[in-house]
Amino acid sequence: MNLSTNRQKFKMFLQKHSTLTGEQQNELITNFEELHLAKGELFTDQDRLCNRIGFLVSGLLYATSCDANDKKYTNCFYEPDMLAMCYQSFTEQTPSCHSIKALADSTLLVIDRETLKNILPADYERELIHLFLQKAYLLMDEHAHYLTIKTAEDAYYKFIKDHPAVIPYATKDIIASYLGVRREMLSFCKKKKAA
């Protein structure tokens, strides 16, 4: 896809989810730049400032966080037409609580914090940030739901139903971490599903 097609896709997203006027949408969209991430490349890194917002046009991203013992936890997946950022880091200018990394080669439209502040009045900037927050909350809510499903098998079946695009790219470790199960349990579920 080319830049104008990607921007049109983002405009359709804004028209559906925001109250920005057409003129405000156009000004905002023209300030988003295209970013290509290769598989494994970081969009934002834990413990660093997140100074940009991304709209995922194509590909897949996933968010992880590490605990004090460097154990990695998968928090969410970003699929096309989703917004990616670390909300708290972006708004409060504090270190990010997670990393966002490309699970597959990905294309995003991105805007940095300063540019956003300069082109939108404060109330519209807050609306846009609120939109990002709503989407982030839905991702966290979905993740919490997976963690409350009674069996690993049921959680895995729901995951493959909800995120079929992720399956070919995510390792067993990534999926197991997201579902809150051990890798061996995930292998058992996958074998049972295949049988």
Return d(Cα 154, Cα 133) in angstroms, integer: 28
- The rounded radius of gyration (Å) of the Cα atoms in the chain is 18
Strands (E), 46-152: 52-58, 61-66, 72-78, 82-84, 99-102, 106-112
Residue ranges of domains in the chain: 3-120
Q: What is the pLDDT along the chain (195 residues), one digit of tens a residue?
A: 687 899 999 989 888 887 778 888 888 889 999 999 999 999 999 999 889 989 999 999 999 998 888 888 898 899 998 889 888 888 888 998 889 999 999 999 999 988 888 877 666 666 666 666 676 667 677 767 767 777 888 888 888 888 999 999 999 999 999 888 888 888 888 887 776
**42 beta partners:** 101
* 3-120 homologous superfamily: Jelly Rolls (2.60.120.10)
Return d(Cα 146, Cα 68) in angstroms, integer: 24
